[in-house]
Amino acid sequence: MRVISGKARGLKLNTPKNEDVRPTTDRVKESLFNIINFYVMDNNILDLFAGTGSLGIECLSRGANKCVFVDKSKESMSIVKSNIKKARVENESITLNTDFKSAVLSLGRQGEKFTIIFMDPPYYKNMFIDALSSVDENNLLEEDGIIVVEHDTKDSFPDNVGRLYKNREKKYGNTTLTFYKMEEA
Protein backbone atom coordinates (compact mmCIF):
# COMPACT_ATOMS: atom_id res chain seq x y z
CA MET A 1 0.00 0.00 0.00
CA ARG A 2 1.45 3.31 -1.07
CA VAL A 3 0.68 7.01 -1.51
CA ILE A 4 -0.24 7.45 -5.17
CA SER A 5 0.24 11.15 -5.82
CA GLY A 6 1.39 14.46 -4.36
CA LYS A 7 4.22 15.39 -2.04
CA ALA A 8 4.40 11.90 -0.47
CA ARG A 9 4.04 10.07 -3.79
CA GLY A 10 5.42 6.53 -3.78
CA LEU A 11 5.71 6.34 0.02
CA LYS A 12 5.00 2.81 1.26
CA LEU A 13 2.61 2.93 4.24
CA ASN A 14 2.60 0.62 7.24
CA THR A 15 -0.19 -1.96 7.36
CA PRO A 16 -1.54 -4.15 10.18
CA LYS A 17 -0.34 -7.69 10.63
CA ASN A 18 -3.85 -9.07 11.22
CA GLU A 19 -6.87 -9.29 8.90
CA ASP A 20 -9.14 -7.00 10.97
CA VAL A 21 -8.26 -3.97 8.84
CA ARG A 22 -8.76 -4.08 5.06
CA PRO A 23 -6.67 -1.30 3.53
CA THR A 24 -8.11 0.14 0.34
CA THR A 25 -6.26 -1.43 -2.58
CA ASP A 26 -4.14 0.81 -4.79
CA ARG A 27 -6.41 0.07 -7.76
CA VAL A 28 -9.57 1.17 -5.91
CA LYS A 29 -7.75 4.16 -4.42
CA GLU A 30 -6.57 5.33 -7.85
CA SER A 31 -10.09 5.08 -9.25
CA LEU A 32 -11.52 6.84 -6.18
CA PHE A 33 -9.14 9.78 -6.47
CA ASN A 34 -9.87 10.12 -10.19
CA ILE A 35 -13.47 10.77 -9.09
CA ILE A 36 -12.90 12.98 -6.01
CA ASN A 37 -9.62 14.78 -6.73
CA PHE A 38 -11.58 18.00 -7.42
CA TYR A 39 -12.71 18.01 -3.74
CA VAL A 40 -9.26 17.60 -2.16
CA MET A 41 -7.18 20.78 -2.57
CA ASP A 42 -7.26 23.19 0.42
CA ASN A 43 -10.22 21.39 2.03
CA ASN A 44 -10.86 19.58 5.31
CA ILE A 45 -11.13 15.79 5.35
CA LEU A 46 -12.65 13.36 7.88
CA ASP A 47 -11.37 9.78 7.76
CA LEU A 48 -13.83 7.84 9.95
CA PHE A 49 -12.82 4.24 10.67
CA ALA A 50 -9.35 5.31 9.49
CA GLY A 51 -7.71 1.87 9.66
CA THR A 52 -4.25 2.73 8.30
CA GLY A 53 -5.02 6.36 7.46
CA SER A 54 -4.26 5.70 3.80
CA LEU A 55 -7.15 7.75 2.35
CA GLY A 56 -6.65 10.77 4.59
CA ILE A 57 -2.89 10.73 4.02
CA GLU A 58 -3.47 10.55 0.26
CA CYS A 59 -5.61 13.70 0.55
CA LEU A 60 -2.95 15.51 2.60
CA SER A 61 -0.31 14.49 0.08
CA ARG A 62 -2.50 16.04 -2.64
CA GLY A 63 -2.90 19.37 -0.84
CA ALA A 64 -5.81 19.04 1.59
CA ASN A 65 -5.85 21.60 4.38
CA LYS A 66 -6.27 19.12 7.26
CA CYS A 67 -7.50 15.64 8.04
CA VAL A 68 -9.14 14.28 11.18
CA PHE A 69 -8.44 10.55 11.54
CA VAL A 70 -10.86 8.57 13.74
CA ASP A 71 -10.52 4.96 14.80
CA LYS A 72 -11.63 3.09 17.91
CA SER A 73 -8.83 0.49 17.69
CA LYS A 74 -5.62 1.35 19.54
CA GLU A 75 -3.63 -0.80 17.10
CA SER A 76 -5.13 0.96 14.08
CA MET A 77 -4.52 4.39 15.60
CA SER A 78 -0.92 3.44 16.27
CA ILE A 79 -0.53 2.54 12.58
CA VAL A 80 -2.29 5.77 11.53
CA LYS A 81 0.09 7.83 13.67
CA SER A 82 3.15 6.03 12.31
CA ASN A 83 1.94 6.61 8.74
CA ILE A 84 1.24 10.30 9.44
CA LYS A 85 4.79 10.67 10.74
CA LYS A 86 6.25 8.71 7.83
CA ALA A 87 4.38 10.95 5.34
CA ARG A 88 5.46 14.08 7.27
CA VAL A 89 1.90 15.41 7.59
CA GLU A 90 1.76 15.79 11.38
CA ASN A 91 0.91 19.50 11.25
CA GLU A 92 -2.17 18.88 9.10
CA SER A 93 -3.39 15.84 11.07
CA ILE A 94 -5.63 15.35 14.09
CA THR A 95 -6.10 11.84 15.50
CA LEU A 96 -9.04 10.73 17.65
CA ASN A 97 -8.80 7.29 19.21
CA THR A 98 -12.51 6.84 19.92
CA ASP A 99 -15.69 5.38 18.45
CA PHE A 100 -17.30 7.13 15.49
CA LYS A 101 -20.40 8.30 17.42
CA SER A 102 -18.35 10.12 20.07
CA ALA A 103 -16.07 11.63 17.44
CA VAL A 104 -18.93 12.82 15.22
CA LEU A 105 -20.79 14.31 18.19
CA SER A 106 -17.66 16.11 19.42
CA LEU A 107 -16.76 17.43 15.96
CA GLY A 108 -20.35 18.61 15.46
CA ARG A 109 -20.31 20.49 18.78
CA GLN A 110 -17.07 22.19 17.70
CA GLY A 111 -18.75 23.32 14.46
CA GLU A 112 -16.33 21.36 12.27
CA LYS A 113 -17.25 20.88 8.60
CA PHE A 114 -15.64 18.59 6.04
CA THR A 115 -15.59 18.57 2.24
CA ILE A 116 -14.75 14.85 2.05
CA ILE A 117 -15.80 12.25 4.61
CA PHE A 118 -14.47 8.71 4.19
CA MET A 119 -16.34 5.82 5.82
CA ASP A 120 -14.90 2.35 5.71
CA PRO A 121 -16.34 0.64 8.80
CA PRO A 122 -15.82 -3.03 9.53
CA TYR A 123 -17.80 -5.09 7.03
CA TYR A 124 -20.90 -6.97 8.20
CA LYS A 125 -21.31 -4.88 11.37
CA ASN A 126 -24.21 -2.78 10.00
CA MET A 127 -22.63 0.53 11.01
CA PHE A 128 -23.04 2.28 7.66
CA ILE A 129 -26.52 3.75 8.04
CA ASP A 130 -25.84 4.74 11.65
CA ALA A 131 -22.61 6.49 10.62
CA LEU A 132 -24.32 8.32 7.73
CA SER A 133 -27.19 9.39 10.02
CA SER A 134 -24.76 10.65 12.67
CA VAL A 135 -22.83 12.71 10.12
CA ASP A 136 -26.09 14.20 8.82
CA GLU A 137 -27.55 14.91 12.30
CA ASN A 138 -24.34 16.61 13.43
CA ASN A 139 -24.09 18.64 10.22
CA LEU A 140 -20.47 17.70 9.43
CA LEU A 141 -20.64 17.71 5.62
CA GLU A 142 -20.03 20.94 3.73
CA GLU A 143 -22.90 21.89 1.41
CA ASP A 144 -20.86 20.96 -1.66
CA GLY A 145 -19.03 18.08 0.03
CA ILE A 146 -19.07 14.33 -0.58
CA ILE A 147 -19.17 11.19 1.56
CA VAL A 148 -17.40 8.10 0.27
CA VAL A 149 -18.54 4.77 1.76
CA GLU A 150 -16.37 1.75 0.99
CA HIS A 151 -18.20 -1.53 1.48
CA ASP A 152 -18.68 -5.10 0.32
CA THR A 153 -20.49 -5.32 -3.01
CA LYS A 154 -23.14 -7.55 -1.38
CA ASP A 155 -24.29 -4.61 0.80
CA SER A 156 -26.93 -2.28 -0.57
CA PHE A 157 -27.65 1.25 0.55
CA PRO A 158 -30.77 3.41 0.57
CA ASP A 159 -31.11 6.28 -1.88
CA ASN A 160 -31.55 8.71 1.04
CA VAL A 161 -30.35 8.90 4.64
CA GLY A 162 -31.70 12.07 6.24
CA ARG A 163 -30.63 14.97 4.01
CA LEU A 164 -28.03 12.82 2.24
CA TYR A 165 -28.71 11.28 -1.15
CA LYS A 166 -26.88 8.58 -3.06
CA ASN A 167 -25.06 10.36 -5.87
CA ARG A 168 -23.07 7.55 -7.44
CA GLU A 169 -21.92 3.95 -7.01
CA LYS A 170 -18.83 2.27 -8.47
CA LYS A 171 -18.08 -1.45 -8.20
CA TYR A 172 -14.56 -2.91 -8.18
CA GLY A 173 -14.84 -6.67 -7.75
CA ASN A 174 -15.92 -7.36 -4.15
CA THR A 175 -15.54 -3.69 -3.18
CA THR A 176 -18.08 -0.97 -3.91
CA LEU A 177 -17.75 2.77 -3.38
CA THR A 178 -21.04 4.56 -2.71
CA PHE A 179 -21.02 8.35 -2.82
CA TYR A 180 -23.45 10.55 -0.88
CA LYS A 181 -24.03 14.29 -1.18
CA MET A 182 -26.19 16.79 0.70
CA GLU A 183 -29.58 17.67 -0.76
CA GLU A 184 -29.80 21.31 -1.77
CA ALA A 185 -31.85 23.45 0.60
Residue-level pLDDT at 185: 65
Domains and CATH numbers, the chain: 26-182 (3.40.50.150)
Taking CB atoms within 8 Å and a gap of at least 24, the contacts of 162-168 are: 162/132, 162/133, 162/136, 162/137, 163/136, 164/132, 164/135, 164/136, 168/35
Would you state the pLDDT for residue 124? 58
pLDDT digits (tens, 9 = 90+) for 54-72: 999 999 999 999 999 999 9
- Do the Cβ atoms of 140 and 69 come closer than 8 Å? no
Confidence of residue 21 (pLDDT cuts 50, 70, 90): low
Q: How far apart are alpha carbons 95 and 127 in whole angstroms?
A: 21
Average pLDDT in the 93-119 region? 96
What pLDDT does 123 receive?
67
**Euclidean distance between CA atoms 51 and 123, whole angstroms:** 13
Q: What percent of the chain has pLDDT over 70?
A: 95
User: Minimal CA–CA distance to 79: which of 53, 49, 118?
Assistant: 53
Confidence at 46, pLDDT banded by 50, 70, 90: very high
Cα 60–chain centre separation: 12
